[in-house]
Amino acid sequence: MPDFELSEDYQDLSDTVRDFADQVVAPVSAKHDEEHSFPYEVVSQMADMGLFGLPFPEESGGMGGDYFALALALEQLGRVDQSVAITLEAGVSLGAMPIHRFGSDAQKEEWLPLLASGKALAGFGLTEPEAGSDAGGTKTTARLEGVGDAKEWVINGNKAFITNSGTDITRLVTVTAVTGQQERPDGSIKKEISTILVPTSTPGFTAEKAYNKVGWNASDTHPLTLDNVRVPEENLLGTRGRGYANFLSILDEGRIAIAALAVGAAQGCVDQSVKYAKERSAFGQNIGKYQAVAFKIARMEARAHTARLAYYDAAARMLAGKPFKTQAAIAKMIAGEAAMDNARDATQVFGGYGFINEFTVARHYRDSKILEVGEGTTEVQLMLIARELGL
Ligand SMILES: Cc1cc2nc3c(=O)[nH]c(=O)nc-3n(C[C@H](O)[C@H](O)[C@H](O)COP(=O)(O)OP(=O)(O)OC[C@H]3O[C@@H](n4cnc5c(N)ncnc54)[C@H](O)[C@@H]3O)c2cc1C
């Protein structure tokens, strides 16, 4: 029989992050959201707790945990502050993980301890202004110039919506770029896409003005310009021509992490609504006594619960070394929808206060929309699931 009971270690981690989220993150969330400011002091405390190193081995400066541990931490942070949670999610599963999975020994040595410490952040540069869901349509190019040991990649292009790419502690963005052409087995030609490590101090790399977003206001998101950026040949990450496939596999895992964050958001909406429904009175009794309100909250709880089971299942398959792509897509889709639906219902339970930004449910209402878009839209998840069904 499957067992979804958390082990003592996982439960301890979840409880610790929950306390941290309630006591340290929550009190400053509304301020950072309103000011659109990156919460450096919170991120620094998360770094001290080892959260940025959770799934990495101790020899790489990590905590020796696993991807499920990361997901549990994201759920607890997502409950109170999605900006903080996405900063951790993007830092670990998109920023550092490609180096852990595909990096050379030298690249791991140079970057992993730094990124796992949380003292520095890396970004994942896949999306472009005209290539998102269809990221294989990348237009950024990298050509190898020079001779012998002095060869360099010269990178030109633009990236869009890159998380953690412009903070004061950002040190690296890994970008996909067209490095040539490849022949398919049937003889047709396709783009050869590779991934290349670009330290953000490299001349020609610019994190442009941050986006003015609907939500996730305390997270860092920029368009990037790469103008004749020159990096050494050794900055190629993984095998030349495997960059796109490697990044897609990073996104498969990432969907478990983002699902966990979304479950946290969905649960946060439940918790806030239960509390409010017990306190707020109308027509002589607490609004929670009205079945219309109680049923709304009961349905929210059902959404959060089933979405949690979906990401637990995907994570269990991943950790067991089994195929998990479809389950991760299902988890990401239903958790994102649960967060958005719960945010809409929670703001309804809160009445007029649900429309006032300082209330957590109002923030969840603005923040949750991107959960149906980022790291693959709902339609992309449906494409993956349908493809697995042979459709
Ligand atoms: C706050 C934020 C943070 C982000 N962080 C990062 C990051 O760190 N790194 C990164 O690389 N990217 C990042 N992204 C980009 C994000 O992953 C993309 O926005 C997303 O994948 C969608 O791509 P797009 O915006 O180009 O939309 P499009 O691909 O243009 O899609 C537009 C619409 O068309 C639909 N659509 C497209 N193709 C199909 C199809 N075949 N069938 C049916 N419907 C289809 C989509 O589902 C969507 O509804 C971030 C985005 C945001 C807003």
Extract the tokens encoding 38. 């990156």
Digits of tens for pLDDT over the chain (391 positions)? Answer: 667 889 999 999 999 999 999 999 999 999 999 999 999 999 999 999 999 999 999 999 999 999 999 999 999 999 999 999 999 999 999 999 999 999 999 999 999 999 999 999 999 999 999 999 999 999 999 999 998 888 999 999 999 999 999 999 999 999 999 999 988 889 999 999 999 999 999 999 999 999 999 999 999 999 999 999 999 999 999 999 999 999 999 999 999 999 999 999 999 999 999 999 999 999 999 999 999 999 999 999 999 999 999 999 999 999 999 999 999 999 999 999 999 999 999 999 999 999 999 899 999 999 999 999 999 999 999 999 999 999 9
Mark whether 375 is an active-site residue: yes
Q: Which of 86, 93, 97, 127 to mutate to test the pocket of ligand 1 (most atoms within 8 A of CB)?
A: 127
Residues 6+ apart with CB under 8 A from 390: none
CA 85 – ligand 1 centroid, Å? 19
CB atoms within 10 A of CB 210: 17
Cα-based angle 139, 97, 386 (whole degrees, multiple of 5)? 65
As a whole number of angstroms, the longest Cα–Cα distance in the chain is 83
Residues having CB within 6 Å of any atom of ligand 1:
90, 94, 123-127, 132-133, 161-163, 213, 216, 221, 370, 373-377, 379-380
Q: Where are the beta strands (DSSP E) in the chain?
A: 121-125, 141-145, 152-163, 170-183, 189-199, 205-207, 221-232, 236-237, 281-282, 285-286
> How many whole angstroms separate alpha carbon 154 and alpha carbon 184?
26
Set 75, 337, 372, 375: catalytic member: 375
Residue found under tokens 């339970």? 349
What confidence tens digit (pLDDT) does each residue in 112-131 have? Answer: 999 999 999 999 999 999 99
Q: Give yes or no for a contact between 357 and 363, defined as CB atoms under 8 angstroms apart.
A: yes
- Euclidean distance between CA atoms 15 and 32, whole angstroms: 24
307: tokens are 């979405």
How many angstroms is it from 252 CA to the middle of ligand 1? Answer: 15
3-state secondary structure of 333: helix
| Residue whose entry in the numeric block shows the structure tokens 């009794």 | 285
Distance 176 CA to ligand 1 centre (A): 16
CA 76 to chain CA mean position, Å: 14
252/155 Cα distance (integer angstroms): 26
How far apart are the C-alpha atoms of 256 and 316, rounded to whole Å? 10
Task: Note the pTM of the prediction, 2 decimals.
Answer: 0.97
| Closest C-alpha among 173, 183, 180, 174 to residue 141 | 180
CA of 95 to the centre of ligand 1 (A): 18
What are 157-175's pLDDT values in tens digits?
999 999 999 999 999 999 9
DSSP 123-146: EEE--BTTBSTTGGG---EEEEES
Which is nearest to 139 in space by CA: 175, 109, 167? 175
Most ligand 1 atoms within 8 A of CB, residue of 38, 158, 161 to mutate: 161
Q: Whose CA is nearest to atom 26 of ligand 1?
A: 132
pLDDT in the model for residue 2:
66
Whole-number pLDDT of residue 256: 98
Q: How far is the CA of 127 from the centre of ligand 1 (A)?
A: 8
C-alpha 135/C-alpha 127 separation (Å) is 6
| CA-163 nearest atom, ligand 1 | 8
Choose one of 377, 384, 387 to mutate for the ligand 1 pocket test, by most ligand atoms within 8 angstroms of C-beta.
Answer: 377
Q: Tokens representing 53?
A: 């190193």
